[in-house]
Structure 1
Amino acid sequence: MFFINLLNFLVVNKVVITSILITLGIISFVYGIFIYSKESSTKFQLIWFLISFGFILLGILIYYNIFSKIPLICFNIIFLFSLVLLIIFLLIEIIIISHFNNQYEKNLDYIIVLGAQIRKDGPSVILKCRLDKAIEYLNQNKNTKCIVSGGQNLKEPFEESHGMMLYMTKNKIDKNRMIIENKAKDTVQNIKNSIALLGDKDLKIGIVTNKFHLYRSLKIAKKLGLTNVYGIGARSSLFYLPHNLLREFIGVLKDKISGNI
């Protein structure tokens, strides 16, 4: 009865529902264009065009009553599958957001600054936020040392760690307080390679990254054996937050399947 009532609701309100979905599709498309123009280092930005297509296609299917023309059992399966995916997405996003304001200790032995895109003119917005947070912590905790971690990815002019070190020295952080890790290509390698440089998993360590990235980074660090690890969250632009949260959702799923968290 529930599914029959749902189908009737879609038929009766198809104009309103279709209008909402088409609007969401247009918003997603425009947002995707902006994101791609600002951050084209990977292909993940294209997902917003896929989302846009999905919204518009769903609107068309509802407008032409396509779901009423297929067997009820097929509609039931599609609806339940979509509902499960939505619940998983929301639960993971809630967990990610719940780690935004992680508490951390003063005078940690080391902080590990996770790399992100570097450009010819300096750090990307995301990386600059991480570096500024690391600089703030190092200025407040004079005995703490720092690992800047990041190799050279496609479309990057040089190693992320090199650009990170240059930025931090320009902001009056002593080069002798920094260790460079220049091989990592992703978050797992960032942390794994940094641990190898330290050689002691019992040190008190802080992971400096953007707030949306804290949950996954800490889970990876603990999976790799760090026992005294803290997340130090850097700010990030609210405008980019939907994109970053979506990318992080995919990252959590990928690392869970890969056994990294």
Structure 2
Amino acid sequence: MSSKVFRRSLLLVFIWMIIHCSWAAIVGLRDFKGNADVAIVLGNTVYRHGGLSPWLKGRVDAALTLYRNKQVGKIMVSGGTGDSGYPEGDAMRNYLLQQGVPAGDVYTDNEGANSYLTAKNFITLNQTCHFRSAVVVSSWFHVLRCKYIVKKLGFENVEGDHSRSYFGKDVLYVMREFPAFYKYMLVY
């Protein structure tokens, strides 16, 4: 391959990445205005004592706002067990219970170690709950991929909402979403 073809290929990939990241931002920063049966909150870092990291608290608070506004009737919290050893689903559930959400309105998934597993576990839960609509709640840069994988696994009526907490590292994470989205297209 000549250096000219290589440079043009890199330029095309860069342009594609910019377009994709812009698309992810447009989709991910859109506030959910409707109603859904359930909010699906995707996990993130939990501290050893079970406290939520600021980026996870932002996600859970966004779902809590939807719940309090009666835009969703139930909340599914999903995550794995990270380096702290504390299950993310349990930590999110505990936080929601402390905020006054009744235990019967919270579904806990501690096997959702990535977006695909969360979506898969939601599909399994839905076999007994029969939700007609859902809203995935995550950090803004992550919403596009989360909606995509839930739809790909067969649940069509899914929207998105986002944490209202923003961090400088979000710029790096939106760039990480570029290869991650296409990996999900090809692998799952």
State the TM-score, normalized to the length of structure 1: 0.66
Note the C-alpha offset of 1:142: 7.6
Cα deviation digits, residues 16-51 of structure 1 (max 9, x gap):
xxxxxxxxxxxxxxxxxxxxxxxxxxxxxxxxxxxx
1:88 match: 16
Q: Which has the larger radius of gyration?
A: 1
2:132 match: 203
Between 1 and 2, higher relative CO (CA 8 Å, sep ≥ 6) is seen in: 2
Q: Secondary structure at the match of 1:141?
A: coil
Is the 2:77–2:93 contact (alpha carbons within 8 Å) kept by the matching residues of 1?
A: yes
Cα deviation digits, residues 117-167 of structure 1 (max 9, x gap):
2112411222111001011111111860111111213x1321110111111
1:248 match: 177
The structure-2 alpha-carbon separation of the partners of 1:149 and 1:75, relative to structure 1 and needing over 3 Å to count, comes to same
Distance 1:214 1:202 in 2: 19
Equivalent residue pairs, number: 186
Indicate yes or no: 2:58 matched with 1:129: yes
Distance 1:115 1:184 in 2: 8
Question: What letter corresponds to residue 150 of structure 1 in structure 2?
Answer: G
Moved over 4 A (4+): none
1:108 match: 36
Is the 1:195–1:201 contact (alpha carbons within 8 Å) kept by the matching residues of 2?
A: no
Q: Secondary structure at the match of 1:85?
A: helix
* Structure 1: tracts of 5 or more residues without a match: 1-72
Distance 1:143 1:80 in 2: 47
Is the 1:202–1:228 contact (alpha carbons within 8 Å) kept by the matching residues of 2?
A: no
Counterpart pick for 1:182 among 99, 103, 110: 110
Note the C-alpha offset of 1:235: 2.3
Distance 2:130 2:12 in 1: 38
Question: What letter corresponds to residue 120 of structure 2 in structure 1?
Answer: K
Indicate yes or no: 2:80 matched with 1:145: no
Counterpart pick for 1:97 among 25, 33, 40: 25
Distance 2:148 2:35 in 1: 22
Question: What letter corresponds to residue 12 of structure 2 in structure 1?
Answer: V
Distance 1:142 1:248 in 2: 28
Note the C-alpha offset of 1:174: 1.5
Coordinate RMSD, CA, aligned: 2.0
Alignment of 1:8-157 (within 5 A): 74-102=2-30, 104-121=32-49, 122-141=51-70, 144-153=73-82, 155-157=83-85
Distance 1:102 1:201 in 2: 26
* Structure 2: tracts of 5 or more residues without a match: none
The structure-2 alpha-carbon separation of the partners of 1:252 and 1:211, relative to structure 1 and needing over 3 Å to count, comes to same
Relative to its length, the structure with more helix (as a share) is 1
